[in-house]
Amino acid sequence: MYTLKNAIDGKLVASASDRMADVFNPATGEKIGQVPLSTNDEIDRAVENAKQAQPAWGDMPPARRARVMFKFLDLLNRNIDDLAREISREQGKTHEDAVGECTRGIEVVEYACGIPQMLKGEYSRNVGPAIDTFSTRQPLGVVGGITPFNFPAMVPMWMYPMAIACGNSFVLKPSERDPSASMMAWELFREAGLPDGIFNIVHGDKSAVDRILDHPDIKAVSFVGSTPIAEYVYTRGTAAGKRMQALGGAKNHMIIMPDADMDQAANALMGAGYGAAGERCMAISVAVPIGEETADKLVAALKPKVESLRIGPSTDENADMGPLITKAHQEKVLDYIDQGEKAGAELVVDGRGFSLQGYENGFFVGGTLFDRVTEDMSIYRDEIFGPVLSVVRKNTFAEAVDLIHGHEYANGTAIFTRDGDAARDFADRIEVGMVGINVPIPVPVAYHSFGGWKRSSFGANGIYGPEAVNFYTRLKTITTRWPTGVKEGSVFAFPS
């Protein structure tokens, strides 16, 4: 069993805290490690070192910062399998899924390598007589990130590569449930030549979160997690005067039109609904077929696929999905299935009682499919974050759009159709941040930006991509005039 350390000022530092959190292998239920719940003094030390290191890094030419990013990128690509195994060991997802997670995180590092181009300002000559104006984007200083358990490598990479490339130093608090992937990435970043103090990791729970949000030297914080915590983080951080972005929960709908390719739609729903055991903020958890005939065909296509899901540990190369993250979360998902059944939803495939020989103590839940779900049911309203797919039948496209608009979450959505007019209307009209047309999980590539609407996101900026440059820098505009030999008197009117 291992005990993790904090990463402060380029060194691994044992915590003095007497509070520890256990880390489990979700497939076996076995305790495999522990992580310190850091003290405020340790967090303050990390921030102070980050503050001392940042000015020299921020003054460094962006091209030189990019060279460190290129080295980091190379090391990540060469170590992607090891990083994926670290994810699977603590998070439980299959190795293939973990490799996919790493790949999407590495794409953000690739994007960050182009930071010299992204930090170019604008220049206007002769905005007035012999007067020029130009703009520049400058780093904020020390910034922070608080990340969730479901993507222990990718979501932190949505934050710190762009923040650091922009010239900031970074303090990360990863999830205490699966922190080792971030620690491995920190080691690789150091190997790439990142100066001490620019990237720091402190482990902890709510106490650490609050200290990061309250600390006067942290200028901005990025957060990904559930909506109640996102709202709390956003409110507390902004009250402390920080620039904040807080990405919350989701209940993502996929409309299936009568003209859709039913096999394609069913296969898409399987991957989007049950991949990573449903522990994705972009998972499709609600299928909305239009018309009874479409619904009957969809459920008939889904039922055997859900029943034949291959569920196992990450070491099983043939597994489609693995366990949930903790025993407590397993019990929460099972309770939602109970609630759905009691509320009158038709339980087409029941994932309760799933057990895997040799892994009886693992945190597994079988794939679950509900039909004839209604908007008043908790399995529809709440983000379950598990392998549970609900079918909500609607008679018309307009009713389906109204259903989506009526939900508090607006992270991602999709429509499957052959009708370009319906697809275009849906993309234009739907009040959701990320839209897929025959694409079930429309997570933007690294050179676009990720962000939901309504109660799926708090703050003005999306995460990674062009939005990240705006979030992690401040705009400064300079207006200059050099003497031309013409003497003028004082001017008291507003300049024009």
Domain ranges of the chain: 2-248+456-478, 252-437
Q: What is the C-alpha to C-alpha distance for residues 128 and 335, in angstroms, rounded to an integer?
A: 68
pLDDT tier at 6 (50, 70, 90 boundaries)? very high
CATH topology for 252-437?
Answer: Aldehyde Dehydrogenase; Chain A, domain 2 (3.40.309)
Tokens representing residue 56 in the block: 């020299």
pLDDT tier at 487 (50, 70, 90 boundaries)? low
Mean pLDDT (whole number) for 322-344: 98
**So what's the pLDDT on residue 484?**
73
- Residue 323: CB atoms within 10 Å: 30
Lowest average pLDDT, out of 224-228, 336-340, 490-494, goes to: 490-494
What percent of the chain clears pLDDT 70, i.e. is strictly above it? 99
In this predicted structure, the answer to whether residue 322 has a pLDDT above a threshold of 70 is: yes
Mean pLDDT (whole number) for 74-78: 98
Query: Do 148 and 276 contact (CB within 8 A), yes or no?
Result: no
Mean pLDDT (whole number) for 195-212: 98
**So what's the pLDDT on residue 494?**
80
pTM of the model: 0.96
Q: What is the C-alpha to C-alpha distance for residues 327 and 304, in angstroms, rounded to an integer?
A: 28
**So what's the pLDDT on residue 393?**
98
**So what's the pLDDT on residue 146?**
98
| Greater model confidence, 495 or 56 | 56
Lowest average pLDDT, out of 24-28, 245-249, 274-278, 479-483, goes to: 479-483
Which residue's entry shows tokens 């039948």? Answer: 393
**So what's the pLDDT on residue 460?**
82
What percent of the chain clears pLDDT 90, i.e. is strictly above it? 96
Tokens representing residue 46 in the block: 């990390």
- Residue 33: CB atoms within 10 Å: 19
**So what's the pLDDT on residue 265?**
98
How many Cα atoms occupy the beta-carbon half-sphere of 476 within 13 Å? 8
In this predicted structure, the answer to whether residue 496 has a pLDDT above a threshold of 80 is: no
Q: Kind and range of the H or E element at 349?
A: strand 346-349
Tokens representing residue 323 in the block: 């366990």
Cβ neighbours for 284, distance < 8 A, ≥ 6 positions apart:
252, 253, 254, 268, 269, 272, 273, 389, 414, 440, 441
Q: Which residues carry out catalysis? A: 281
DSSP 447: T
Q: What is the C-alpha to C-alpha distance for residues 195 and 76, in angstroms, rounded to an integer?
A: 18
In this predicted structure, the answer to whether residue 214 has a pLDDT above a threshold of 90 is: yes
**So what's the pLDDT on residue 41?**
98
Tokens representing residue 229 in the block: 């915590």
Q: What is the C-alpha to C-alpha distance for residues 225 and 223, in angstroms, rounded to an integer?
A: 7
**So what's the pLDDT on residue 485?**
63
Q: What is the C-alpha to C-alpha distance for residues 241 and 243, in angstroms, rounded to an integer?
A: 7
In this predicted structure, the answer to whether residue 495 has a pLDDT above a threshold of 80 is: no
By DSSP bridging, strand 131-139 and strand 142-146 are unpaired
Q: What is the C-alpha to C-alpha distance for residues 294 and 371, in angstroms, rounded to an integer?
A: 13
**Architecture, CATH, for domain 2-248+456-478:** 3-Layer(aba) Sandwich (3.40)
